[in-house]
Amino acid sequence: MTAMLLAAEEGASPLLPNVWEMLITFIGFLILLFIAIKFIAPAFEKVYRDRTEAIEGGLAKAKAAQAEAKAARDEYNQQLESARLEAQKIREEARTEGEKILADFKDRANVESARITENAHKAIEAERAAAVVSLRDEVGTLATQLASKIVGESLNDDARANRVVDRFLADLETEQGRTGAAR
Amino acid sequence: MNPALRIPAEFVAPSVEDAHLPPFFTVGTLEVGKHSLLILLSVVLIAGFFMYVVRRRALVPSKGQYLGEMGYGFVRNHLGRDIIGEKEFRPYVPLLFTFFFFILVNNLFGSIPVLQLPTFSHPGTAYVFAAVAYVVWVFVGIKRHGFGGFFVKMTMPPDVPKVLYIVLIPLEFLSNMIIRPVTHALRVFATMFAGHMAIMVAAGFTAYLATGVGGALGIGGSVFGVILGLFIYFLEVLIQILQAYIFTLLFAVYVQGSLQEGH
- Taking the CA of residue A83 and the nearest CA in chain B, the distance in Å comes to 48
Provide the number of CB pairs (under 8 Å) joining chain A to chain B: 122
Greater pLDDT, A8 or A147: A147
**Residue A15 confidence (pLDDT):** 79
Average pLDDT, chain A: 83
Closest residue of B to A31, CA-based?
B43
Cα(B15)–Cα(B13) distance, integer angstroms: 6
Q: DSSP states of B89-127 as a string?
A: -GGGHHHHHHHHHHHHHHHHGGGSTTT---GGGSHHHHH
Cα(A116)–Cα(B200) distance, integer angstroms: 136
User: What is the distance between the terminal CA atoms of chain A, rounded to a whole angstrom?
Assistant: 175
What are the chain A neighbours of B33 within 8 Å (beta carbons)? 21
What are the phi and psi torsion angles at B9 (to 5°)?
-80, -35
Nearest to B75 by CA among B229, B241, B245: B245
Partner-chain contact B76 A36, CB within 8 Å: no
Q: Which of A12, A26, A37 sits opposite B16 (nearest CB)?
A: A12
**Residue B191 confidence (pLDDT):** 92
Closest residue of A to B14, CA-based?
A12
pTM for this prediction: 0.68
Residues A17 and B127 sit within 8 Å (Cβ to Cβ): yes
- Mutation target among A10, A19, A23, A32 for the B interface, most CBs of B within 10 A: A32
Greater pLDDT, A35 or B200: A35
For A129-166, what is each residue's pLDDT tens digit? 988 888 877 877 777 777 777 666 555 667 777 777 78
Nearest to B89 by CA among B245, B250, B255: B255
- Taking the CA of residue B158 and the nearest CA in chain A, the distance in Å comes to 36
Question: Domain locations in chain B?
Answer: 96-259
Residue A147's contacts (CB-CB under 8 Å, 6 or more residues apart) are A155
- Mutation target among A13, A29, A50 for the B interface, most CBs of B within 10 A: A29
**Residue A9 confidence (pLDDT):** 46
Residue B94's contacts (CB-CB under 8 Å, 6 or more residues apart) are A33, A36, A37, A40, A41
**Residue A4 confidence (pLDDT):** 39
Closest residue of A to B129, CA-based?
A26
Residue B71's contacts (CB-CB under 8 Å, 6 or more residues apart) are B50, B101
Q: Which of A8, A12, A44 sits opposite B54 (nearest CB)?
A: A44
Nearest to B43 by CA among B94, B101, B93, B96: B101
Q: What is the maximum alpha-carbon separation in chain B?
A: 72
Residues B124 and A18 sit within 8 Å (Cβ to Cβ): yes
**pLDDT band for position A19 (cuts 50, 70, 90):** confident
Cα(B149)–Cα(B138) distance, integer angstroms: 12
ipTM of the complex: 0.85
- Pairing type for strands B25-27 and B30-32 reads antiparallel
Q: What angle do CA B186, B188, B189 make, to 5 degrees?
A: 60
Closest residue of B to A46, CA-based?
B57
**Paired strand residues for B32:** B25
- Mutation target among A9, A25, A33 for the B interface, most CBs of B within 10 A: A25
The length of chain B in residues reads 263
What are the chain B neighbours of A35 within 8 Å (beta carbons)? 43, 47, 51
- Kindly report which listed range (A23-27, A101-105, B212-216) carries the lowest average pLDDT score: B212-216
Partner-chain contact A32 B98, CB within 8 Å: yes
CB atoms within 10 A of CB A15: 13
Residues B144 and B150 sit within 8 Å (Cβ to Cβ): yes
**Residue B26 confidence (pLDDT):** 66
Q: Which of A13, A41, A47 sits opposite B94 (nearest CB)?
A: A41
- Taking the CA of residue A59 and the nearest CA in chain B, the distance in Å comes to 16
- Taking the CA of residue B2 and the nearest CA in chain A, the distance in Å comes to 15
Cα(B183)–Cα(B250) distance, integer angstroms: 11
Cα→Cα distances A125→A57, A122, A129, A131, A138, Å: 99, 5, 6, 10, 20
Q: What is the mean pLDDT of residues A118-138?
A: 89
Amino acid code (one letter) for B53? V
Residues B244 and B103 sit within 8 Å (Cβ to Cβ): yes
Helix (H, G, I), strand (E, B) or coil at B59: coil
Amino acid code (one letter) for A67? A
Q: Which of B16, B57, B68 sits opposite A14 (nearest CB)?
A: B16
Q: For residue B4, what is the DSSP state?
A: T
Question: Domain locations in chain A?
Answer: 40-182
Residues B125 and A25 sit within 8 Å (Cβ to Cβ): yes
CB atoms within 10 A of CB A149: 9
For A44-99, what is each residue's pLDDT tens digit? 999 988 888 888 888 888 999 999 999 999 999 999 999 999 999 999 999 999 99
Give, for all 263 residues of chain B, the pLDDT tens digit.
444 444 445 666 676 666 666 666 666 666 678 888 899 999 999 999 999 998 888 888 889 899 999 999 999 999 999 999 888 899 999 999 999 999 999 999 988 888 888 889 888 999 999 999 999 999 999 999 999 889 888 888 888 888 888 888 999 999 999 999 999 999 999 999 898 888 888 888 888 887 777 677 778 888 888 888 888 899 999 999 999 999 999 999 999 999 887 65
Task: Please classify residue A142 by burial: count the beta carbons closer than 10 Å to its beta carbon, then call 0-12 exposed, 13-18 middle and 19+ buried.
Answer: exposed
Cα(A130)–Cα(A127) distance, integer angstroms: 5
Partner-chain contact A28 B127, CB within 8 Å: no
Cα(B40)–Cα(A179) distance, integer angstroms: 144
Q: Which of A12, A15, A54 sits opposite B59 (nearest CB)?
A: A54
